Amino acid sequence: MSGGVSVRDVSVSFAKTRALQQVSLEFPEGQFFGLLGPSGSGKTTLLRAIAGFVPVAEGTIEIAGQPVERVAVEKRQIGMVFQSYALFPNMSVAENVAFGLKVRKLPSADIERRVREVLELVRLGDLRDRRPRQLSGGQSQRVALARAIVTRPRVLLLDEPLSALDKSLRVDMQIELRRIQREVGITTIFVTHDQEEALTLSDRIGILRGGRLVQEGTPRDVYSAPVNEFAARFLGEANVFSGTLEGSGVRLASGARLMWPATAAPRPDGMMLAVRPESIAVSTSQPAFDANRNVLLGELRQVVFAGATATCLIASEGQTVRVFGRGEELANLAPGSALWLSWPLAQTLAINPG
């Protein structure tokens, strides 16, 4: 049995501190939902509130349509994988996976069948007799995942389970984790501080800051239409410009004017413009006038070469503008040279301050 999770106006307090403030989110059934934000943003607190490890001061939490604020942790039918994996060192892989089933006093034949099935699912069937100390980090992560899903929970909660792995293994495990989640079809809520990980794994994401929800949506929507400066800078990189509102654009301190798309409109609390580094083209000669592009002049400070890709750091408008491009195209640019930056109005993000 599975189900979606509804969080409505939930607040959580520790002493005199509000760790969550009026957070409302829907976690659709069967989807992979990523929660991300800086340290202290409340993402892990929200996960633990759903699990029942911390009490809710205000609001409601429903799992499969049923309120659970007064339901004990062990009766919420939730599986959880922690950052440390928390495997029992004196038990084999199979015994670790079977632990929750034995607590539930299932028949031995059923336990053996379900352990065998889930170990095959995570591709560890041939390691069932090993102890945790004999496993790699990726194998330990998969054992912890198998232990969490073998009880067939309605919701799977993952608290930064990949953060202890090195980069190459983490990428491999992202692929494995997504494969397993899709095969099982379980509602999964995943806490991470890794932006790329959230974009790669999630059907939907929510960004938290200071215990409040900043923005929620599909990764593509949040990346391409951030609501404010924080969301723009936190999810991916963004070059942000501010100035004086002037018609359908912003007049910068230098006198240069940047325009925003016709679909954007000035907001009461002000307006800033942002552009992603991969949207900017660079040229040593001034581009021809195009009413559908923004153009700025800058001076190249540094090219950071990374093989197939490179990052240009360009001084423009009193700040450092980042530009991503192909390494072979950018690597030969000389520091100190004048560069023209241009990008389509359609890729100019109109955002709120804050």
The percent of residues in the chain predicted with pLDDT above 70, rounded, is 97
| Same domain assignment for residues 160 and 283 | no
CA distance 232 to 226: 5
The structure tokens 């929970």 sit at 153
Vertex 38 angle, CA 37 and 44, to 5°: 65
Contact (Cβ atoms closer than 8 angstroms) between residue 202 and residue 42: no
Domain boundary among 224, 251, 269: 224
| Same domain assignment for residues 117 and 197 | yes
Number of domains in the chain: 2
Contact (Cβ atoms closer than 8 angstroms) between residue 235 and residue 223: yes
| Same domain assignment for residues 157 and 265 | no
DSSP result, 188-233: EEEEES-HHHHHHH-SEEEEEETTEEEEEE-HHHHHHS-SBHHHHH
Averaged pLDDT score across all residues of the chain: 90
| Same domain assignment for residues 198 and 220 | yes
CA distance 266 to 271: 6
| Same domain assignment for residues 19 and 153 | yes
Contact (Cβ atoms closer than 8 angstroms) between residue 96 and residue 133: no
| Same domain assignment for residues 46 and 190 | yes
What CATH number should be reported for the domain holding residue 332?
2.40.50.100
Highest mean pLDDT among 1-15, 89-103, 239-253: 89-103
Q: CB under 8 Å to 313, separation ≥6 — which residues?
A: 300, 301, 302, 303, 304, 320, 321, 322
What is the rounded average pLDDT of the residues 22-37? 96
CA distance 142 to 167: 17
| Same domain assignment for residues 84 and 176 | yes
The percent of residues in the chain predicted with pLDDT above 90, rounded, is 67
Bridge partners of residue 259, in order along the sequence: 249
Cβ neighbours of 295 (radius 10 Å): 18
| Same domain assignment for residues 173 and 55 | yes
What is the rounded average pLDDT of the residues 149-171? 87
| Same domain assignment for residues 200 and 282 | no
pLDDT of residue 253: 85
Domain boundary among 199, 224, 249: 224
Residue 33 vs residues 42, 102, 317: alpha-carbon distances, Å: 15, 30, 38
What CATH number should be reported for the domain holding residue 183?
3.40.50.300
Bridge partners of residue 249, in order along the sequence: 246, 259
* CA 67 centroid distance within chain: 27
Contact (Cβ atoms closer than 8 angstroms) between residue 150 and residue 182: no
Amino acid 236 reads G
pTM for the model: 0.89
**Tens-place pLDDT, residues 203-237:** 999 999 999 999 999 999 999 999 899 999 999 89
| Same domain assignment for residues 73 and 207 | yes
What is the rounded average pLDDT of the residues 162-184? 86
| Same domain assignment for residues 203 and 233 | no
Per-residue confidence band for 1, with pLDDT thresholds at 50, 70 and 90 = very low
**Tens-place pLDDT, residues 279-330:** 999 999 999 889 899 999 999 999 998 888 899 999 999 999 999 988 787 8
| Same domain assignment for residues 11 and 118 | yes
Domain extent at residue 247: 229-351
pLDDT of residue 333: 85
Domain boundary among 195, 224, 253: 224
